[in-house]
Homo-oligomer: A and B are copies of this chain.
Amino acid sequence: MTAEDPASAFVPGPRAALAPTGRGPLDGTSFAAKDLFDVAGHPTTYGNPDWARTHPVAAATAPAILALLDAGSRLVGKTKTVELAFGLTGENIHHGTPLNPRAPDRFPGGSSCGSAAAVAAGTVDIALGSDTGGSVRIPASYCGVWGMRPSWGAVSLTGARALGPAFDTCGWFARSARLLRLAGEALLPLDTVPDSTLGPVLKAQTAWINAEPATAAAVLPAFEALEHLVNLGVAVRVEGYPGVLERTFEAFRCIQAQEAWATLGSWIAATGPSFGPGVGERFAAARDMDPGKVADARRFRLRFAQRLRAVLAGGGVMAYPTSPIPAPLLSATQAEQDAVRARTMGVTAIAGLAGLPEVSIPAGLVDGAPVGLSLVAAPGRDRALLALAERLSVELGLDA
């Protein structure tokens, strides 16, 4: 696969490549970075040619990239992103949609589509992405790789483009749980609760019910192995009130709209960029969002986050299917994609609204297409969560 192949995981043009600057836990590994992170001397396209045309070449390299280089990893290039990171399928009509190596007739998921695809193809060991409303977790689930959305604010987004700062996080993908954890050692601060043991595992019923039965069935064995490992035979269930996922989706959608327009609206209004299907419509909806709805959503968020954090304060880990269904087929209509988006984001909004860390584990297949199981903990327990994911991986025989 070359950079010119429209299904490549990498952005067109010369590869942004950098040798390691130190030695450490990532010695001998390679990584890629979503093309919203700056690499000195290279353009940052943010997935859109008009963005690239109206912004200067980067003068400095993003600290998250520097941290991986310092830990011994080698940067091999920058990967495709949905335009301005505003979309979950991974489609990009300007640069070409990356191939989903595990399900070639389906979308790779987005917005960090190229990063997930590059790891799934085995081209790199690790890849940086960003996750606002699911942009690491969903492509991890769709492409069958390990994905991490850290606690909000835990990993630097300096030198990276923003979409909705209230939700934006710097996440990453890896081809194994061990590499996912080692990348975290290079990127994360120390846990705010040191030496914590995570548990119990909580089966978040509402998210399980939201998933298609085939998806729930596919990830159940991994969940049961986790429950056995941590709960030692005690089943613990948590339930949301009726309609909570519609409420989380609505709150997330309204706040994200305000954030996205406050962040990117000035540039869009001044430039009039050319957008692919769905992207321009989403920004138009963001522009026209009712401020009263956003104020309600922010009040809901405050209460929701407070309650969920209280549930998880003692070390509990919620587990549920990352996405309710596998990746949509490339032939899906825009209306079908929008329906999947709403149903998916009710679940991804849980960690988004509350700022929680979430790991997606490649846990099963539906009709041959990958689906993930998510583990979600209280903010500041990122390292403990990655360690737990690695224990589960060993238990399941997934890590070499």
Contact = CB atoms under 8 A, between A and B. Distances in A.
Contacts of A62: 262
Interface string A232-267: 000000000000000000000000001101110111
18 contacts: A38-B262, A56-B269, A56-B270, A56-B271, A57-B266, A59-B261, A59-B266, A60-B265, A60-B266, A62-B262, A66-B258, A152-B153, A153-B153, A157-B165, A158-B162, A158-B166, A158-B259, A192-B309
A159 B263 contact: yes
A375 to B, nearest CB: 22
Given A66-B291, A291-B21, A302-B189, A56 B153 contact: no
When all copies of this chain in the complex are counted, the total is: 2
Given A157-B165, A158-B165, A159-B263, A190 B306 contact: yes
Nearest to A267: B56
A190 B299 CA distance: 11
B158 A263 contact: yes
Interface string A15-50: 000000110000000000000001000000000000
Q: How large is the interface on A (under 10, 10 to 19, 20 to 34, 35 or more residues)?
A: 35 or more
For the complex of A and B, 5 pairs with smallest distance between CB atoms: A56-B270, A59-B265, A159-B262, A153-B153, A60-B262
A305 interface: yes
A262 B63 contact: yes
Nearest to A309: B192
Interface string A274-291: 000000000000010001
A70 B66 CA distance: 41
Interface in A190-205: 190, 192
A16 B61 CA distance: 36
Nearest to A310: B194
A164 B156 CA distance: 10
A266 B166 contact: no
